[in-house]
Chain A
Amino acid sequence: MVTPSDTTTKPDAGKPLLTIRKLCQSFPKAGGGQLNVLNDLDFHVGAKEIVGLLGRSGSGKSTLLRIVAGLARPTGGDIDFKGEPIDGPNAGISMVFQSFALFPWLSVLENVELGLEAAGVHTAEKRERALAAIDLIGLDGFETAFPKELSGGMRQRVGFARALVVNPALLLLDEPFSALDVLTAETLRTDFLALWAAGRIPIESMLIVTHGIEEAVLMCDRAIVFTPNPGRVTAEIPIELPHPRNRQDPAFHALVEEIYIQLTSPPTAPGGNIVQHPLTPGSPLPHATTNQMTGLIAELGTAQYEGKADLRTLARSLRLEMEALLLIAEALQILGFAELTDGNLLLTPDGTAYRNAGAQGRKTIFAAHLRRHIPLIEHIKQVLDDRPRHQAQVVRFLSELEDHLSKQAAKAVLGTAVGWARYAEIFSYDAKTGMFSLDNPSASGTR
């Protein structure tokens, strides 16, 4: 740790540490065919820089991180680390996990020593380096503790020490602070950045997946914005503010704003044209609940916003993560209740009508919008209408969805649709029998 080993010899200046060219990743769909997760990805991580990956959920940023970590292999394209292709976990790349991924049966010291032991570092040196890392990351006194005894913040410090002790050239961080409360996350981030700025961490570069836009602007030298379906890079935003960065700085605000705009702008095709995706019955649906949507519409309608709100302000006042807020906003957009442009969320006239309606009126409006905008729900309704007994098995729709989506995604999409349709009373679903039907539970029923 204190003595950088020869694995961290610096690459030639100007030569990127990690190069990714035309990277593609697809998974076999449950119903046959391929589901593209990453498409023609190009980017690099240079020497001495922190690169942030940002994007909506499902944009493939975690998939990319797994590929760089050597945990998954891409279906196409090249990925080079120090000029060598990555085909498995690499001794020069280490990782900090969102869930900490500590071994509960190993003490703090043993957890930190794990990577060294696997690398065959002999006992005395192993102990010395592990203790140095523990010391550096602020864990002294906790060496013999077990992860169960530690708070979340202390656990993630173990995660950092374990990742740093092997002297990686590239450190991957998968949403490292998102499982922590705000104060703890702030403390850890500040401590870590201070160590980095002081040059006490002998790593070359970092690649961080985050859904906190402010976090990205606080930490990164460059933010890369992904758009989903399939995941592509739509923007690269250099962040050249000096460390330590100040959240109140107008330049900081401007960068946060710019990333918000990039994240909410409609996807553009390579030629610069806006891509319009009309929904099909097999399209994925954002997993937002009707209560969340109603809540967001109500918030937008308050005097504070009067139908138009800046997403960043909204996220702050609702204490929502950007990713979660975007999911609900996207649901409102596809249902025609709101529009998402340039970092703003605008209530449509239909959205206002929904807000002003009573409980039953809301259901009616919601039902009309579901049938107009969500082809899957209209499709299920049609099938049920056509059947003499107005019933259909869930497997029927699942297998249809699996032609377009993975098994898991198909289940999730159908779950979302069922949740919406139940609220709108378009059709009902009995989980016990796996049966869709048009009738409500009869009053004489026993359950």
Chain B
Amino acid sequence: MGARQAIVPFDMGDRLALSLDPTNLPEYALRSTLRMLIALVASLVFALTYATAAAKSRRLEQILIPILDVLQSVPVLGYISFTVTAFIAFFPHSLVGVECAAIFAIFTSEAWNMAFSVHQSLTTIPADLRDASAVFGLTGWQRFWRLDVPFAMPGLIWNAMMSMSGGWFFVVASEAISVGDKQATLPGIGSYISIAIQQKDLGAIGWAILAMLVVIMLYDQLLFRPLVAWAERFKFEDTPGQIVPRAWVFDLLRRTRFLPFLLHPVGFALGWLRNLPIAGKFRPEVASAAGPRSVLAWALDFVWYAGLAALAACLAWQLYRYLSPNVSLAELLQVFRFGCETAVRVLVLIVLACAIWVPIGIFIGLRPRVAAVVQPIAQFLAAFPANLLFPVAVILILKYSLDPNIFLLPLMILGTQWYLLFNVIAGASAFPQDLRDASREFQVTGILWWRRVILPGIYPYILTGAITASGGCWNASIVAELVRWGGDTVRIDGLGAYIAQATTDGDYVKITLGVGVMSLYVALTNRVLWRPLYRMAERRLRLG
């Protein structure tokens, strides 16, 4: 269905006939869902190949992992305009280009951290299993399917589920893109919303929100819950006290004869695939670093690094040549000032969110029955694309003439605060019972209990939540600092608004500058703030 429409002749600027009739919504929702699914599969393939390459070769690892780190810092919404233009150039006069651009945007929001998860798994494979696969003569290819992939599976699926939550946000943002005077609209929930916003149709927005709720619910129940339950078998060790994830769909499928019947050919195909004569058997190397081989290795290292340095310098020079004639120093300084403003907003919002959600999350997490109810809701709210709710905020701000400098801010963290909440809940639920008993026995209460017991105990979880939330905040600033409702615009100065404005104007120089500076800010916050904090947590506060 999507394919048929995709090959219909199309030129940038053509408006596709999208109707706000709610009866179209199921079809639009299905299309958005398909885009998500394609992006998910692409991310999966990417994560496995990229991370495996990095894990197998030291030289590749030294370049692939930093690249991933940089890519993760680049705001997805910032470069949509580029990818749209690029993909349309690849597939002129057809919707395939726009379709690819949208899928690519979703892909970029998922692939990087999935690849990180796989790499993390591959580097922690237990040594005895690696030895066993070598002793029993598995080829590298067989080992990949028998050991690497299964071992990475639980982390990968969990990460896919989390990234998917972020993905909905980008579906909404990427289906209706306008770059300068050009506009590309794909049939889907996202474009439905954007048209509803243009036409100020509040009823249609209500319908879209409803459709989104249904789609996310179905995705969660029919795809991810069963997958997570299935991935349990790949977990390396059982952690006592943890609740085994249940999924009614999975239980149902397992009880019927349907699933084995369905999976038999899949298993057969996988068996054929993993026994293809690809890659050789394990061959050990001499442990010694001395000898003539190391001189060669040293020379290779030198060539490799020199090549990398040259490439980096070349890219930097190209960027400089592109930007320097068009960007004045004043402009540059202004962009950096905008960056500071947005950075301050992100930090303030994270601190506020912590102040609100950490106590609530702890309260919930220490009560298992409440947590069992609230946890799926928090996860669900994290998946819900907050940008659907932006029009509501704009209407309120316009109606009551509220100060956008204050009332636009919550939009930035609206979608990502839930990550904080459910991480805190997870941490508090995992807090050891004996430590709770001990603190009760010694009558540690009040401030002392917070400072000495619970906060240090769940600190790594708070941090993980805060890091995720802050990354999402930066991305959201591009749509939250400049919000439209029909012809009305509400904006505050900031790097997000700068990029959004540049995208609307089709000013590629400004987009490049804005995105580059934002990536720099994100990378810097990661280096100087989050990573040291995380390392400290790893060193001292990890329980068990």
Contacts and interface: CB of A to CB of B under 8 A. Distances in A.
Interface of A: 25-28, 34, 66, 69-75, 87-89, 91, 93-95, 97-101, 103-106, 114-115, 117-120, 146, 148, 162, 166, 432
Contacts of A91: 137
Interface in B263-306: 275, 281-290
Contact of B137 (A74, A89, A106, A432): A89
Contacts of B290: 28, 34
Contact of B284 (A70, A105, A432): A70
B233 A104 contact: yes
Nearest to B142: A118
12 contacts: A70-B135, A70-B282, A71-B282, A72-B284, A73-B285, A75-B288, A88-B284, A98-B128, A101-B129, A101-B131, A104-B235, A115-B137
Contacts of B282: 70-71, 88-89
A94 B134 CA distance: 10
Contact of B287 (A75, A94, A105, A115): A75
B135 A95 contact: yes
Given A103-B129, A105-B233, A115 B136 contact: yes
Given A103-B129, A103-B147, A120-B275, A162 B284 contact: no
B407 interface: no
A161 to B, nearest CB: 12
A68 to B, nearest CB: 10
Given A97-B131, A103-B147, A104-B235, A88 B136 contact: no
A101 B125 CA distance: 11
Given A88-B281, A89-B281, A114 B287 contact: no
Given A66-B131, A104-B233, 16 more contacts: A28-B288, A34-B290, A73-B285, A88-B284, A89-B136, A89-B137, A94-B135, A95-B135, A97-B132, A101-B129, A103-B132, A105-B150, A105-B153, A105-B233, A117-B142, A118-B136
Contacts of B128: 97-101
A415 to B, nearest CB: 15
A74 B150 CA distance: 32
Interface in B213-264: 233-238
B351 to A, nearest CB: 24
Given A89-B134, A94-B135, A148 B238 contact: yes
Interface in B363-412: none
Contacts of B426: none
A98 B289 CA distance: 29
A162 B234 contact: no
B234 A104 contact: yes
B139 interface: yes
Nearest to A29: B289
Contact of B146 (A87, A95, A98, A114): A114
B58 interface: no
Contacts of B238: 148
B138 A114 contact: yes
Contacts of B129: 101, 103
B4 interface: no
A34 B291 CA distance: 12
Contacts of B288: 26-28, 34, 75
Contacts of A148: 238
Nearest to B291: A75
A120 B136 CA distance: 12
Nearest to B129: A101
B321 interface: no
Nearest to B237: A104
Contacts of A114: 136, 138, 146
A397 B363 CA distance: 46
Which of A94, A106, A114 has the most chain B CB within a 10 Å cutoff? A114
Contacts of A106: 146
B254 to A, nearest CB: 14
A117 B283 contact: no
Nearest to A97: B128
A95 B237 CA distance: 23
Interface in B52-90: none
Contacts of A95: 131-132, 135
Nearest to B147: A103
Contacts of A27: 287-288
Nearest to B233: A105
A171 B131 CA distance: 15
A71 B236 contact: no
A188 B236 CA distance: 25
Given A71-B134, A97-B128, A103 B150 contact: yes
Contacts of A98: 128
B137 A118 contact: yes
B194 to A, nearest CB: 44
B370 to A, nearest CB: 30
Interface string B334-350: 00000000000000000
A162 B136 contact: yes
Contacts of A103: 129, 132, 146-147, 150
A117 B143 CA distance: 12
Contacts of A99: 126, 128
Contacts of B233: 104-105, 146
A69 B135 contact: yes
Interface string B106-146: 00000000000000000000101101101111110010001
Given A28-B290, A103-B147, A87 B137 contact: no
A70 B134 contact: yes
B135 A88 contact: no
A432 B285 contact: no
Q: What are the 10 tightest A-B residue pairs by CB atom distance, in nearest-first order?
A: A115-B136, A28-B289, A101-B128, A101-B132, A118-B137, A105-B150, A73-B284, A88-B283, A118-B138, A95-B135
A159 B49 CA distance: 31
Contacts of A117: 142, 275
A71 B131 contact: yes
A243 B113 CA distance: 59
Given A103-B146, A103-B147, A148-B238, A26 B287 contact: yes
Nearest to A148: B238
A125 to B, nearest CB: 15
Which of B131, B132, B142, B153 has the most chain A CB within a 10 Å cutoff? B132
Nearest to B238: A148
A97 B281 CA distance: 20
B138 A72 contact: no
Contacts of B139: 118
A89 B284 CA distance: 9
Which of A28, A70, A101, A432 has the most chain B CB within a 10 Å cutoff? A101
Interface in B529-544: 540
Which of A25, A28, A71, A118 has the most chain B CB within a 10 Å cutoff? A118
Nearest to B139: A118
B284 A75 contact: no
A117 B237 CA distance: 25
B270 to A, nearest CB: 12
A73 B275 contact: no
B275 A69 contact: no
A66 B134 CA distance: 11
Contacts of B137: 89, 91, 115, 118-119
B490 to A, nearest CB: 48
Contacts of B132: 95, 97, 101, 103
A311 B147 CA distance: 43
Nearest to B540: A432
B268 to A, nearest CB: 10
A81 to B, nearest CB: 13
A25 B285 CA distance: 12
Nearest to A70: B284
Contacts of B142: 117-118
A119 B290 CA distance: 35
B136 A73 contact: no
B287 A28 contact: yes
